[in-house]
Amino acid sequence: STDEDVVAQKDMCLDELDEVFNHLNNGGNTASSDFVMSFH
């Protein structure tokens, strides 16, 4: 069950990253995109 919890957390994290990247694409803010990429 712990593996499922980890997968669920990763899915949530990916959803949040998708939203962040959508905002970055709309704003074209490269500084923020570099900041986000540092989390990978």
Residue 36 makes CB contacts below 8 A (sequence gap 6+) with: 17, 20, 21, 24
**What is the domain partition of the chain in residue ranges?**
2-37
Ramachandran region, residue 28 (left: φ > 0; alpha: ψ -120 to 50; beta: rest): left
The answer on pLDDT for 15 being more than 70 is yes
pLDDT of 24 above 70: yes
In the prediction, which pLDDT does 5 show? 86
pLDDT at 37 over 70: no
Average pLDDT over the chain reads 75
